[in-house]
Amino acid sequence: MQNRNYLSVSQFIDITDNALKRFGSAVILGEISEIAHYSHLYFKIKDEISALECIMFASNLSSLNFRPQIGQKVLVTGVSSVYKKNGSFKFIVRNMIMAGEGLIMERLRLLKEQLNSQGVFTASKRALPEIIDTVGIITSKEGRVLHDMVRTIRQRSSVIKIELYDAMVQGDEAPKTLIEALHRANTEGKCDVLIIGRGGGSFEDLLPFSDESLVREIAKSKIVTISAVGHEPDVSLSDFAADFRAATPTAAAVMVSAMTDDMLLTRLDKITDGMTQGLLRQIDYLMMKNDSISSRLKASNPLQHLNLVESRLNAIVQNLSALMHHSLDNTMQRLNDDIKDLNLALDNRLNQTQQRLDKVLYNLESFNPLSKISVFESVLDGLISRLNSACDFYLHNTDKRLVYIIDKMHMLNPLQTLKRGYAIAYNDKGQMLKAKETKTGDKIRIRLDDGVIKATVNDTNDKTADATIVD
């Protein structure tokens, strides 16, 4: 061994290690296949053919923004090295980042945490309207998913209207067009609920529905939203921002058509029956109130009131001439006012009833249940006829009572007595005279039908009194 034409093991490893390090750093793409966490991170990355052992020292681990796991694709940056103790080849990793789909998923995870912390996902979710008249669908008009949703809705409900808001559903321009479609739907305000989504696709195809700007706009929508992206396993950030998530677009179509035609007709029958019963109860109430008013009018006995008026007129007969016409006019005016008020009240009640009937008919026409409406109109015509007959009867009786009262007041008018040849004598103070209270020589006035006579009393007795007329 005098000629040194060999290297020791350690020398060879040192030379090899130095040679590898002189190559400089390298960036390698691979999938983590094995991993062990100690003070340092030991792991293996592989591709379809080869595997590479790596080590990342603790001083570099603190710079990672994710936790490495088996199955993740990563980009590692570092230098090659040979471990001197056992001559094994190692790649010393100084930096590691996620690559491909894994990198995108990590970014989505961070975005989800950010949006959640800002309250985008935690806002209170709204319920679906009980009755949905119009559904807006935000998707591509070219996709088969639109046909599937329309067909599902049509099979379940023939009355729901569908509005399409066309937008791209994949590619870099998709989020912008989806936002524009969402804005257009909210501005028009035609829809009760919006479905935003697309059919299944690759992970990259579904990424537009996790766009931050789109997710924020979905959360701010004034209209209830349903996110329906891909298939059951697919999850997009739009699912968390919308009021509802549907596993598939077809499932979303089922949700918005929960009120089928049969269910709608059954509900309409119940509403119609309820409105009919309510209207009949209202008409019965009006009839009972009318009967009550009639009973109260009968119980008030106007004749007793007129007798009281007659007694009071006899007591103040000296003022009756001036007051009678005024009282009669006021009474007539009050009666006329009462009749007008009664007519107005009846007209108002009839108008209100007619308006309610019109509203009922309008609502019934909106649902177009022709057979129900025909029966209902027949019932209503009968009820209106009965109500009109009752009102005419009541007004006729009121007019007859008014004529009777006027005739009675004419009969009780003292001026009518004077026309039959009678006279009223009273003193200068306007007090009505009695024979036993009159003395010879008293000045008196005698009221006749056609004027007043001034006279002087010559003599008195219990039955007659002679008088001298003074010019």
Q: Is residue 469 part of a domain?
A: no
Number of domains, the chain: 3
pLDDT confidence of residue 244: 95
Residue 191, SS3 per DSSP: coil
Same domain? 125 vs 94: no
**85 and 125, same domain (yes or no):** no
Instruction: Judge whether 45 lies within some domain.
Output: yes
Structure tokens at 312: 């009071």
> Which element (helix H / strand E) includes 445?
strand 443-448
In this predicted structure, the answer to whether residue 456 has a pLDDT above a threshold of 80 is yes
180 located within any domain: yes
Mean pLDDT of the chain: 82
Neighbours of 343 (CB within 10 A): 13
Tokens of 56: 């990342």
CB count within 10 Å of CB 207 equals 20
The residue count for the chain: 471
Residues 145 and 16 in one domain: no
CATH at 41: 2.40.50.140
237 found inside a domain: yes
Give the Cα separation of 390 and 385 in Å (integer): 9
Report pLDDT for 393: 87
User: Does the pLDDT value for residue 222 go beyond 90?
Assistant: yes
160: in domain: yes
Domain C-terminal end among 214, 231, 259: 259
The whole model's pTM is what?
0.45
Question: Which residues span the domain enclosing 173?
Answer: 119-259
Give the end of a domain, one of 75, 104, 133.
Answer: 104
Using CB atoms within 10 Å of the CB of residue 180, give its burial: 0 to 12 exposed, 13 to 18 middle, 19+ buried.
middle
Over residues 77-116, the pLDDT tens digits come to 999 988 888 888 899 999 998 887 666 777 888 899 999 9
My answer on whether 173 and 223 are in the same domain is: yes
Same domain (yes/no): 153, 210: yes
Q: What CATH number is given to the structural domain containing 223?
A: 3.40.50.2300
My answer on whether 134 and 56 are in the same domain is no
Q: Do the domain assignments include residue 322?
A: no
Q: How far is CA 84 from CA 12, 118, 363, in A?
A: 10, 52, 91
Write out pLDDT tens, residues 152-185: 999 988 889 999 999 999 999 999 999 999 999 9
User: Do 99 and 152 have their domain in common?
Assistant: no
Q: Are strands 451-457 and 244-245 parallel, antiparallel or unpaired?
A: unpaired
Q: Is 290 part of a structural domain of the chain?
A: no
Residue 397 belongs to a domain: no
More confident residue, 254 or 421: 254
Domain boundary among 238, 259, 280: 259
